[in-house]
Amino acid sequence: MSLVIIRKSAPAEIWIQALAERAPELIVHVWPETGPVDEVEYVLSWAADPGVIAGFPNLKAIFSLGAGVDHVLSDATVPSDLPVIRMIDESLTRRMVQYVVHAVLSRHRRVEEMRANQAQGLWKRPAFPDLRVGIMGLGEIGRACAQQCLALGYQVSGWSRRGEPLAGVEVHGGEQGLPMFLSRSDVLVCLLPQTRETAGILSRDTLGQLPKGAYLVNAGRGEHLVDDDLLALIAEGHLSGAMLDAFRKEPLPSDNPFWTAPGVTVTPHIAGWTEPSTAARHVVEAIAALRAGQQPRGVVHRARGY
């Protein structure tokens, strides 16, 4: 039984060590080194080139190194019957919560405005009206963000496909719940997966339904956002700004208008990242479940795309 780690950027040593501590019997290779391909039962992958995963004939499951699995499902050569397992990692979730809370707090407490005042030596004490936080996507990460925003005293609503209840949160479900949800979101936080249904969901139509002066936080995927619609709504004064972590093209090209748009903060897809020392547990537990014929946590529903 072997596992191949496929990733292009960060070194894989920490992953190898974390997996070895929890599953010493697991033979781990780092792409492009694979050992005998027919012995590879698992891949742990981020953005493998199309066709690479399909090159392993005896795979039992595909693990995503991140919470999103769009990078796996967009590869048409990946066999449709193989379990795809998204990352569920307490460190990743915690970091996403930190990012979202930071964005909400800095918008609420007008940090940019304070900095601008400071630059002019201005002692000015603005009002800080209460903000309502709306979270799109109440999954592993969205729920944790909602809970932390609640703990900070914000009024929180959420939107998900099924609209499953969440304590303390006003939950709206499906297309019919979207207008009410949007109308109550002074800060809209997108934590949706990228699927056919969610592509382009942050458009003039939806963002235009936010209250005037609303602020967008997109830590989902760049494909959720219609870039020009956001820029236009900011220029028109309907939205006050945005904090964006994910983009249609990454790295964000140097001539992209988001770099210089007033009120827009660009972060380079760093809202959250997977920590091997904790995430290895998820991988090892999922492998054990698969081997025992059980359903592991995080298996993606292929038709839904998340």
Instruction: Give catalytic residues, as residue numbers.
Output: 221, 269
- Among the listed ranges 6-14, 30-38, 269-277, 280-288, the one in contact with ligand OXD (CB under 6 A) is 269-277
CB of 246 to ligand NDP, least distance (A): 5
Q: Which of 137, 142, 158, 272 binds ligand OXD (CB under 6 A)?
A: 272
Residues in the chain: 306
Q: Are 114 and 127 contacting, i.e. CB atoms less than 8 angstroms apart?
A: no
Per-residue interface string for the shown chain with ligand OXD, residues 35-74, x marking contact by CB under 6 A: -------------------------------xxx------
Q: Is 45 helix (H, G, I), strand (E, B) or coil?
A: strand
CB of 89 to ligand OXD, least distance (A): 8
C-beta closer to ligand NDP: residue 50 or 165:
165
- Among the listed ranges 129-137, 207-215, 250-258, 271-279, the one in contact with ligand OXD (CB under 6 A) is 271-279
For the chain, the DSSP string reads -EEEEE-SSS-SHHHHHHHHHH-TT-EEEETT--SSGGGEEEEEESSPPTTTGGG-TT--EEEESSS--HHHHT-TTS-TTS-EE----HHHHHHHHHHHHHHHHHHHTTHHHHHHHHHTT----------EEEEE--SHHHHHHHHHHHHTT-EEEEEESS---BTTBEEEEHHHHHHHHHHT-SEEEE-----TTTTT-BSHHHHTTSPTTEEEEE-S-GGGB-HHHHHHHHHTTSEEEEEE---SSSSPPTT-GGGT-TTEEE--S-S----HHHHHHHHHHHHHHHHTT-PPTTB--TTTT-
C-beta closer to ligand OXD: residue 26 or 87:
87
220 binds, among ligand OXD, ligand NDP, none (CB under 5 to 8 A by kind): ligand NDP
CB of 221 to ligand NDP, least distance (A): 5
134 binds, among ligand OXD, ligand NDP, none (CB under 5 to 8 A by kind): none
C-beta closer to ligand NDP: residue 240 or 274:
274
Q: Say which DSSP state 255 is in.
A: T
Residue 151, φ and ψ in degrees, nearest 5: -60, -25
Residue 296 touching ligand NDP (CB under 6 A): no
Residue 177 touching ligand OXD (CB under 6 A): no
Per-residue interface string for the shown chain with ligand NDP, residues 212-241, x marking contact by CB under 6 A: -------xxx--------------------
229 binds, among ligand NDP, ligand OXD, none (CB under 5 to 8 A by kind): none
C-beta closer to ligand OXD: residue 83 or 177:
83
Q: Distance (Å, rounded) from C-alpha 95 to C-alpha 4?
A: 26
CB of 241 to ligand NDP, least distance (A): 18
CB of 96 to ligand OXD, least distance (A): 8
Count of CA atoms in the C-beta half-sphere (13 A) of 24? 1
Residue 269 touching ligand NDP (CB under 6 A): yes
CB of 268 to ligand NDP, least distance (A): 10
- Among the listed ranges 119-127, 149-157, 191-199, 276-284, the one in contact with ligand NDP (CB under 6 A) is 191-199
Task: Work out whether the CA dihedral 292, 306, 279, 36 comes out positive or negative.
Answer: positive
- Contact residues: ligand OXD, CB under 6 A: 66-68, 87, 92, 272-274
